[in-house]
Structure 1
């Protein structure tokens, strides 16, 4: 086995793979960001509804994306361990199958979301507008999850540039359609939240078509869509076993933030709007960490596929170092320019702007506090998924996000009277507990187990025959 690559070589390889993935995530995020900014200029109540509606959609989307994310380490390992084209085709197809099944099961709650939101204590007007948004945006779940599977497939094969360009084009198209349909520009009807929903669904469909066309052209030997209707029970089981814990882990994390939005919503539209804006900023930095984490998953999966544990270990160390560097920059930005960033989302003439800025500035300070923890936990998840270790991380996430994060956020926010700031303190506590437990899991359990497995295989191969 060759010597492990140097740390600078690992950093270059990780960034070379990760930067387009980061750009792709930020391009996708720009769709949601555009909705939030334009709704903030359109109407504060509509902004609160978009925050609530998009949060609910994202909960379902991120849970269903577990099957797409499971495809990533499986394709990466197959590309290195000799299983090749057949296994790549099998797991990618069944990732599409499972994503479609998930979409069919979870679509009804999105189409009839208004009574659900009312039951969760949201104000009637905000629940009504959020329901209008989701009744249209919900149809984007199926193409959106298909996009996630194909992005994972292409990224694992190191075709990340196309993932980036699809996301950039989608963000630009979304911004244009949003402007036309939200405000009724160029003679179009003024549709408000419904216009934002139509734009989002259209973009998801166009993105899926673009990725399908690219995959067929660049990898015709994989024959992804030939006899797509045929079930592969073995591959379906493999993707399901790896993917459902990822989906529930994602649900735990996004549920932490969604529950925080619901709790802040009990305080009224102004705190919810401030929460939504601050969360947009925190989400942007999270997506940078997520792109790096995806790259770590791919590189860890490839190292695992070829049994190169020393290279895997060194790559993990570089991942952690880059995560700390990115988080440090985010902390500095959040502490230096909170008011300027918040002002981007609000009409300067809105009478509620001072109240939103006052609440949002405090939340931005708290967002700075959890940057290290948030980056660290998503990096740990990426490394563990590269080792195809997903079940114990799922349990860790459920305990730290919900038992620690949600419960402490509720106690600090309401019985102790800290309001939105108290809810965000719960986020800090939950994420901190998560990163400690997940990093321990990777360095003390999962990595040594992988090393022992390959050492055992090497010893077996070296044993004399009789």
Structure 2
């Protein structure tokens, strides 16, 4: 058994985790809000524009999530190197992380410029696919800076400067709101570019936040001492392979989880248009809330990685369980609010004074109740997954993620939703079962690895 940390150690870990979580979560929320703003502007441009832009954005985000997962593999290695006070390795990892971002971006950008073939193959009409492809042709330019920003955010957060990416991301959100409106509708003397204007604003935003973070790294007094870009001209193939070995399973896991929600959305549409509309309300609500525990997950990865670098197994356990506790506490608070005020949540999306919209309340409310339970479980699984990434354990969690989300979650959702006739509630219940399974598997995996490390430490005669 691991020794029980004293009360002051737990308090200090809570303070350190919150200090790291707030800027990471705020950055995640800012980036999620950017997509939300894009969707609102698309809706103002008309239903056809919303359909085309929404389809293009969904394709871009699927590719983005996969790239984000791969590049996330840099974070635990940086955190471990920082914990071991190994500045040369931090420089090497930063340089190869930027190279990896570029190598991921090149093939993905090529695929995005040919997405119309896939859209037509799945039966979308040319009236939608053509403007969606035009939108993607422009938005493709945002892919590299989008994932490179996340990589650099992980670097500076791991070595003690997490607030700058938050401020930059919030500034990017403000710019995106203004640029979207000006370019889409032709304000301040600019031509009205419609959906293309939305794409241009996004490209400018992502390049802006990436370049701003680069400048901050060069300017910041503490970060300058790391000389983070000193090794940028060197292509280190063994280190790139190490990053891919760690990051590729994370990318698959991220895509697996996101894919479950995408397939569930498709299945909701097979039930009825009303169920699909209700699902979109619930999904958008939970997606925004999830950004906070996702930030906590990144913070947990960093804290566990730092303790791993310091060879402090008590610190590893403490940071992981504190992260889970904070995440579950936040999600419990959000779930309580949803359960107590479901109509207020629905009213954020719909004018409930309209009879047609008010008729959706009894459809949305039961979905919200299931989603509230799922949020609490999600708080456990995402931080437990973050702790495993901190231990640089990604391959086995990839298989566990596939099993939990696609076999158990999707399978049970299909049975409950269609075979037993529970409809949308059944599909959301399946998602909750998948999330619960993932939480159980990830926590069990973490406890097992921690026990193995403790036993190995004792066998070496180290207390």
Shift, 1:57, TM fit: 1.7
* Aligned 1:91-170 pairs, distance under 5 A: 91-122=93-124, 125-170=127-172
Tell me how far apart the structure 1 counterparts of residues 416 and 166 of structure 2 sit (CA, whole Å).
40
What per-residue deviation string (whole Å, max 9, x for no partner) do you get for residues 277-322 of structure 1?
4322111221100111111111111111111112222222222221
Shift, 1:124, TM fit: 5.7
Residues 322 and 154 (structure 1 numbering): CA distance in 2 closer, same or farther, change over 3 Å? same
Residues 119 and 261 (structure 1 numbering): CA distance in 2 closer, same or farther, change over 3 Å? farther
Tell me how far apart the structure 1 counterparts of residues 321 and 228 of structure 2 sit (CA, whole Å).
35
**What residue number does 1:429 align with?**
433
**What residue number does 2:79 align with?**
76
CA contact (8 A) 2:278 2:360 kept: yes
What per-residue deviation string (whole Å, max 9, x for no partner) do you get for residues 76-125 of structure 1?
1111224x221001112112212211111122332232342343355665
Tell me how far apart the structure 2 counterparts of residues 306 and 363 of structure 1 sit (CA, whole Å).
45
Give 2:458's match in structure 1, choosing from 431, 455, 462: 455
Tell me how far apart the structure 2 counterparts of residues 343 and 194 of structure 1 sit (CA, whole Å).
31
Tell me how far apart the structure 1 counterparts of residues 193 and 271 of structure 2 sit (CA, whole Å).
27
Is residue 32 of structure 2 the alignment partner of residue 29 of structure 1? yes
Tell me how far apart the structure 2 counterparts of residues 101 and 14 of structure 1 sit (CA, whole Å).
32
The worse-fitting range, judged by mean Cα deviation, of 350-359 and 332-341 is 350-359
Give 2:297's match in structure 1, choosing from 293, 298, 317: 293
**What residue number does 1:365 align with?**
369
Residues 130 and 272 (structure 1 numbering): CA distance in 2 closer, same or farther, change over 3 Å? farther
Tell me how far apart the structure 2 counterparts of residues 125 and 290 of structure 1 sit (CA, whole Å).
36
Shift, 1:144, TM fit: 0.5
**What residue number does 1:206 align with?**
208
Tell me how far apart the structure 2 counterparts of residues 228 and 291 of structure 1 sit (CA, whole Å).
28
Shift, 1:353, TM fit: 4.4
Tell me how far apart the structure 2 counterparts of residues 19 and 227 of structure 1 sit (CA, whole Å).
31
Segments of structure 1 that go 5 or more residues without pairing to the other structure are none
**What residue number does 1:7 align with?**
10
Give 1:235's match in structure 2, choosing from 236, 239, 264: 239
**What residue number does 1:66 align with?**
69
Question: What secondary structure does 2:73 align onto?
Answer: helix
Tell me how far apart the structure 2 counterparts of residues 147 and 77 of structure 1 sit (CA, whole Å).
20
CA contact (8 A) 2:91 2:231 kept: no
Tell me how far apart the structure 2 counterparts of residues 400 and 453 of structure 1 sit (CA, whole Å).
30
Residues 343 and 438 (structure 1 numbering): CA distance in 2 closer, same or farther, change over 3 Å? same
CA contact (8 A) 1:300 1:315 kept: yes
* Aligned 1:213-232 pairs, distance under 5 A: 213-218=215-220, 219-226=223-230, 228-232=232-236
Tell me how far apart the structure 2 counterparts of residues 101 and 242 of structure 1 sit (CA, whole Å).
16
Tell me how far apart the structure 2 counterparts of residues 231 and 89 of structure 1 sit (CA, whole Å).
12
Residues 383 and 273 (structure 1 numbering): CA distance in 2 closer, same or farther, change over 3 Å? same
The worse-fitting range, judged by mean Cα deviation, of 222-231 and 234-243 is 222-231
Tell me how far apart the structure 1 counterparts of residues 413 and 272 of structure 2 sit (CA, whole Å).
17
Shift, 1:438, TM fit: 0.8
RMSD, matched Cα: 2.9
What per-residue deviation string (whole Å, max 9, x for no partner) do you get for residues 128-168 of structure 1?
55444333223211111111110110111121110110110
**What residue number does 1:256 align with?**
260
What per-residue deviation string (whole Å, max 9, x for no partner) do you get for residues 255-286 of structure 1?
11222233335567765554334322111221
The worse-fitting range, judged by mean Cα deviation, of 434-443 and 116-125 is 116-125
What per-residue deviation string (whole Å, max 9, x for no partner) do you get for residues 58-82 of structure 1?
2211211233311211111111224
CA contact (8 A) 2:94 2:229 kept: no
Shift, 1:42, TM fit: 4.2
Give 1:377's match in structure 2, choosing from 375, 381, 387: 381
Shift, 1:413, TM fit: 4.2
**What residue number does 2:307 align with?**
303
